[in-house]
Structure 1
């Protein structure tokens, strides 16, 4: 997994990297992180400043811990307003020249206090800590997040209305999709699938599974790349949960598999559909915590316009083999390596580090408690009177998050309170908005 390096190691790595970047025609490096509203924030330096940035970091205002989707700010117990400063330290292990942005490279950043200690509100640091807790159990996790997006023209309308999964749409945008594929591949990403999706102008790409922190990094890199390729084609991109009122929305489905000593615990076991006991207990832990986890995985007011029955969004707290209306879809796969669990209720307004870290923390709690996996849902849960709906609004899921002792303990108190403050503030921000108003307000923010 991605690990932190000492200051001296970072400097040596920057020096070794700079010559290659110069030869590759790189002029500057972008450092990215994701705030608690799920927005990607960046700062950049010219290549000549990379060594200094690797050693000391780049200044970043801590108030972004409590920034909202509209760039306004709320407060949390630890927030200091305009006071103080943090340091963005790039992870040069993930430094990537950007194929669709000539002259630029990108690296995810960890956030530190000025004295060099990790910032307790760093979401990437949280994901790393929980991943390390998983590894201390002798387990490992492979994860990946599907990327769905809507391509729009300069006027903001879907760029194609061809049928979902249709060849018409694919042909209309084959040059564009080829350039997306080329850019992702050139950046060292293993693309598994790329195709039109259901909604007008909607496409989806999936890449190979990685470790949890790496998967979150890759999610951000894929989104940046798609947006950059789109701009070069004169197109706009939206990852918002709902682009057009009443239509299927953009998901950000998290795929996850649990491993021990090279064995996928979702395959070949004595449990239902080949699950091993550890996998059953892990998934049971996530299901138990799912209403609260939506505050990390479906954190926008717009998320709940997507998270409705009969839209393949996983609006019910249940699981089932290949059940696309269940929040947890179990995928058996044709080989041991393909078996995984898909969490369909999450979307791209999530900070992927918070989402993945929260799911891992809930899974570990399921292991600790030896939780049994509930009975499988073998049909459309909407047709069952006993099926439990997940929260239907941001306010409801924020209430569940606030009551979650597990997440309060798993997240650093400063990070937990900042997330809570942002969710409360955004619920209030959109409280009097119509659905159409919410969609319009969020559409181009993600």
Structure 2
């Protein structure tokens, strides 16, 4: 790494970390300070960072992870800039209880203690608009294309190509990219990696997408539902566990190729879904996506190749055991990946350790069933808004133990404040429906 810094004439090294909500933060140091950063950490005032310290604990240390060192390709090759992801430490060098990356590392360590490795593969959707949002001005998507549309010389194709080139230059491998259903909506899928690497890559991905959008005179957003008449932006995530180098979700000859471990993992995802929903769908706007139809899951159920279910079991290749996996469809693109992955892993592990029984899978399109039919099939709804999600989250011992007291309490306090701000608003819908009628 030091040799690369010298050979590439790197002038700045950005130390990246995120707050509890998942907003990327950074501080730049010179190459001359790298040695002390590794040995002692870089001290910063964390009191203004969302949830990282309590008022009487303002000092924190950032210790860079050398395995995450990458040049930032959009900053140029001469006198360039690099980045490293950081762990947040207390002044005495201990892992900070408030660090979202630490939360995921702890969840992974608990699974590894049982011989299991957690791998993830996200499909990340986002929108491109002509200009930033301004109050009273309708959003203008960069195109009017639809799902998988191929439009010669389309700006979206050039955009996705540039993003992928930057990602691959940073050793972040991309599997697919295409236009999504909504106008100006795109999807780029990252290849399978261990969950910590994937979470780091998602933070980098968001930054690359926004940087490329700005360079092309457009604006990118990962907002879950920016336009009510168009689909929301999800982050469908494929999950699997490996044990001794083999896929623990695969069992030759079993239904859908799913092992007992996989079935219990899915059962855990289903049973604890209301509890972790606030983490996988953390904004008020997230519930406009979940309850806006258009292929977003609204009910707690699973199914084989059923895109209306919360958990989908994709078609597997019988001769390829490594392909057995489950797809979680409840997360949106604005989730904090560290906390979301930690919650999903904890729920799945609870299912394995508690030997949960998996209910019957959903064969019908769940949205098309009547309420009576859904009740008869025992398909419980997901929380319909952030308030209900927080009620389930607050009462969850599993989420409290997974996140730790400090992250749990801060997240709850922050999201309650967001809900209160939201419910204090008087919207155009309310004015239109009642101003002249009373």
TM-score, length-normalised on structure 1?
0.87
Mapped partners of 1:416, 1:120: distance in 2: 10
User: 1:271·1:277 contact (CA, 8 Å) conserved in 2?
Assistant: no
Q: Which runs of 5+ in 2 are unaligned?
A: 134-139, 430-438
Mapped partners of 1:314, 1:170: distance in 2: 34
Q: Deviations over 1:115-148 (max 9, x none)?
A: 1111111111111111111111122121122221
- The structure 2 residue matched to 1:90, chosen from 56, 64, 88, is 64
Q: Does residue 340 of the first structure (1) align with residue 337 of the second (2)? A: no
Q: Deviations over 1:353-411 (max 9, x none)?
A: 10111111111111111001111011111214323210011111110001101111222
Q: Secondary structure at the match of 1:131?
A: helix
Going from structure 1 to structure 2, the CA distance change for 1:172 and 1:370 (only over 3 Å counts) comes to: same
Q: Which runs of 5+ in 1 are unaligned?
A: 1-16, 68-77, 438-446
Instruction: Please name the residue that 1:59 is paired with.
Output: 43
- The structure 2 residue matched to 1:409, chosen from 389, 392, 401, is 401
User: 1:407·1:416 contact (CA, 8 Å) conserved in 2?
Assistant: yes
Mapped partners of 1:107, 1:436: distance in 2: 45
- The structure 1 residue matched to 2:151, chosen from 131, 144, 168, is 168
Going from structure 1 to structure 2, the CA distance change for 1:396 and 1:435 (only over 3 Å counts) comes to: farther
Q: Does residue 137 of the first structure (1) align with residue 114 of the second (2)? A: yes
Post-superposition offset of 1:166: 0.8
Instruction: Please name the residue that 1:122 is paired with.
Output: 99
User: 1:289·1:362 contact (CA, 8 Å) conserved in 2?
Assistant: yes
Instruction: Please name the residue that 2:385 is paired with.
Output: 393
Higher-Rg member (1/2): 2
User: 2:236·2:332 contact (CA, 8 Å) conserved in 1?
Assistant: yes
Matched positions, count: 411
Q: Secondary structure at the match of 2:154?
A: helix
Q: Secondary structure at the match of 2:28?
A: strand
Mapped partners of 1:252, 1:436: distance in 2: 30
Mapped partners of 1:300, 1:240: distance in 2: 9
- The structure 2 residue matched to 1:99, chosen from 62, 73, 84, is 73
- The structure 1 residue matched to 2:11, chosen from 21, 27, 40, is 27
Higher relative contact order, structure no. (Cα contacts within 8 Å, ≥ 6 residues apart)? 1
Q: Does residue 38 of the first structure (1) align with residue 25 of the second (2)? A: no
- The structure 1 residue matched to 2:420, chosen from 425, 428, 435, is 428
- The structure 1 residue matched to 2:230, chosen from 243, 247, 267, is 247
Q: Deviations over 1:294-337 (max 9, x none)?
A: 11111111111111153211121110111111111111333322
User: 2:257·2:324 contact (CA, 8 Å) conserved in 1?
Assistant: no
Post-superposition offset of 1:221: 1.4
Q: How does 1:81-230 map to 2 (within 5 A)?
A: 81=55, 84-102=58-76, 103-154=80-131, 156=133, 157-168=140-151, 171-230=154-213
User: 1:278·1:367 contact (CA, 8 Å) conserved in 2?
Assistant: yes
Q: Which moved more, 1:89-98 or 1:307-316?
A: 307-316
Mapped partners of 1:201, 1:436: distance in 2: 25
Mapped partners of 1:293, 1:184: distance in 2: 30
TM-score, length-normalised on structure 2?
0.88
Going from structure 1 to structure 2, the CA distance change for 1:298 and 1:373 (only over 3 Å counts) comes to: same
Q: Secondary structure at the match of 2:82?
A: strand
Mapped partners of 1:239, 1:229: distance in 2: 14
TM-align CA RMSD:
2.1
Q: Secondary structure at the match of 1:205?
A: strand
Mapped partners of 1:37, 1:140: distance in 2: 25
- The structure 1 residue matched to 2:347, chosen from 339, 347, 362, is 362
